[in-house]
Structure 1
Amino acid sequence: MRNIAVGIFMAISAIACRNNKPDSIDKAEAANKKVVSVSADDLRFVVQAASGGMMEVELGRMAREQSSSQAVKDFGQTMIDDHSAANGELRNMAATKGITLPQKPGEEHQEMINKLAAKKGNDFDRAYIDMMVTDHEEDIDAYVNELKTGNDMKIKTWVEQKLPTLRHHQEMAEQLQKQQLK
């Protein structure tokens, strides 16, 4: 009887451990606890920016495949191109500072991907563009905040270089949103 109880306990423990796996951001943040050359706030920003950038690329791919609008498909390709380039620059900068970046989008960003995965055509277009407007507003706020409060000059320089592109993306998304309302 004791062996059965121990076996049940071990099985329940194994299931619980699998359900509590840290997401990609948690893993990166845990690895970054050893990084002392960059402040905790700067580290958090870089990790979130990497996760968000990966989400933008994945959503851009989805737009290319699931949209019914050539303008939305083109916007998706712009997201792929611009965010892939920015992600590469961020990876290179992070490597020089010993910062570990997530390997895939974190849970919050993955949820956004999952929300759009089943949509197609006009339903996808509306949801994607609305998401892009909101997401770029939040990204711009986070980037501006990093410029104001960040401590690391390399990170701040990268942010300063990326802000015009994010603002351009925001304008493009807002314009597409207006076109959809017609």
Structure 2
Amino acid sequence: MKRAIIALGCILLASPVLAQSVGEKTGVNSMLGIAPTTTDFVKQVAISDMFEIESSKLAEQKGNVQEKSFAQQMVTDHTKTSTELKQLVSSGKVTAELPNALDSSYQSKLDKLKSASGTDFSSDYDSYQVSAHKDAVSLFERYAKGGDNAELKDWAGKTLPALQHHLDMAQELGKAPSVGQSSK
């Protein structure tokens, strides 16, 4: 297994174009600390924002008090980043195509949230938020350090602290005692 990972790493490092597109989809770039291409970065950010907004709209309806508060901030903040990204692309400062739908992975998570309720909803929503924000922090850190578009690199660096704050908040979901529960 170790040899396979080392061999894969060598192949991807030897072939930057392959590493950029295949690696981002498989998480290899994150493991190796490789910056995504502008195209991959824009696509991943747009899809992540769509998921954050849609899943958080569900949490505003189905979540507990803590999740509803968190969800309101996610809808506000990710709508803002989504708008900023669209402006960068439409202004011509960033050349990339914005996706208009979730990928299959995020769509299946959203579908699961739509059919869940109560503690099942909370458990899924909370874990999806932690996972999505870990991925986003990694993506933005890597692009801010090694991205190939100066405008987008600057935006990624400026947006990163808010995403790190979101991750911290997401990691606190479910840790607070429920109403009426004593904190022993």
Which range, TM-score by smaller chain? 0.7 to 0.9
Counterpart residue type for residue 129 of structure 2: M
Would the aligned equivalents of 1:66 and 1:120 in 2 still touch at CA under 8 Å?
yes
Residue aligned with 2:51, SS: helix
Deviation at 1:180, TM superposition (A): 6.4
Aligned equivalents of 1:128 and 1:44: distance in 2?
A: 25
The one-letter code matched in structure 1 to 2:131 is T
Change over 3 Å in CA distance of 1:140–1:118 after alignment to 2: same
Match of 1:57 among 53, 58, 61: 53
Q: Does residue 84 of structure 1 match 2:79?
A: yes
Point out where structure 2 has 5 or more consecutive residues left out of the alignment: 1-35
Q: Percent identity?
A: 28
CA contact (8 A) 1:130 1:177 kept: no
Identify the residue that residue 6 of structure 1 maps to in structure 2. Answer: none
The one-character-per-residue Cα deviations of 1:89-137 (angstroms, maximum 9, x if unpaired) are: 0001011224320112222221221121111122111110111111111
Output the CA distance in 1 between the equivalents of 2:128 and 2:101: 19
Partner of 2:127: 130
What CA distance in whole angstroms lies between the structure 1 residues aligned with 2:143 and 2:51? 20
Q: Quick one: distance in 1 between partners of 2:147 and 2:104?
A: 24
CA distance in 1, matches of 2:98, 2:177: 36
Q: Is 1:107 the counterpart of 2:88 in the alignment? A: no
Q: What amino acid sits opposite 1:48 in the alignment?
A: Q
State the match for 1:93 in structure 2: 88
1:132 and 1:173 in contact (8 A); partners too: yes
Q: Distance in 2 between matches of 1:99 and 1:91?
A: 10
Question: Match for 2:132: what amino acid?
Answer: D
Stretch of structure 1 that moved more, 106-115 or 85-94: 106-115
Q: Amino acid of the residue matched to residue 92 of structure 1?
A: Q
User: Contact 1:62–1:117 at 8 Å: present in 2 too?
Assistant: yes
- 1:1-182 pair list within 5 angstroms: 41-67=37-63, 69-97=64-92, 98-179=95-176
Which structure 1 segments of 5+ residues have no match?
1-39
Give the TM-score normalised by structure 1: 0.73
Aligned mates of 1:148, 1:111 — CA distance in 2: 31
